Amino acid sequence: KNQVEQSPQSLIILEGKNCTLQCNYTVSPFSNLRWYKQDTGRGPVSLTIMTFSENTKSNGRYTATLDADTKQSSLHITASQLSDSASYICVVTPSGGYQKVTFGTGTKLQVIP
């Protein structure tokens, strides 16, 4: 069964600090891995998309890495801001299309002053 597991479930950090969120998956073969940010009460917004051949992708202060051998991805947030408080969801799409696209349950990040 395809699975995507994220850790930690929740995280509290001080404003200005860095943090790293983890995503482990069993989907294979896979087409792409996406990280989404979801603010409370809003729809998810795409941060990064990586295909199986990519190792890293950046979007401003967000940097995602992918190790296809170990089936692990991480999302690193640099110099966190209060506006980074949100849930971060890892999503893996298998090869062949959107069938059985698998979502992680998310990491809830709270940035405090």
Partner 1 sequence: DAGVIQSPRHEVTEMGQEVTLRCKPISGHDYLFWYRQTMMRGLELLIYFNNNVPIDDSGMPEDRFSAKMPNASFSTLKIQPSEPRDSAVYFCASSFAGQTYEQYFGPGTRLTVT
Which string of x and - marks every residue 6-45 that binds partner 1 (by CB under 8 A)?
-------------------------xx-x------xxxxx
**Contact of 59 with 69, CB cutoff 8 Å:** no
Quote the least distance from Cβ 113 to partner 1, whole Å. Answer: 27
Using CB under 8 A as the binding rule, whether residue 75 contacts partner 1 is answered as: no
**Contact of 99 with 53, CB cutoff 8 Å:** no
Residues 42-61 binding partner 1 (CB under 8 A) are 42-46, 49, 51
Residues 85-104 binding partner 1 (CB under 8 A) are 89, 91, 93, 97-99, 101, 103-104
**Contact of 10 with 108, CB cutoff 8 Å:** yes
Residue with tokens 């190792």: 55
Residues in contact with partner 1, counted by CB under 8 A, come to a total of 22
Taking Cα atoms as reference points, which of 38, 7, 1 lies closest to residue 104?
Answer: 7
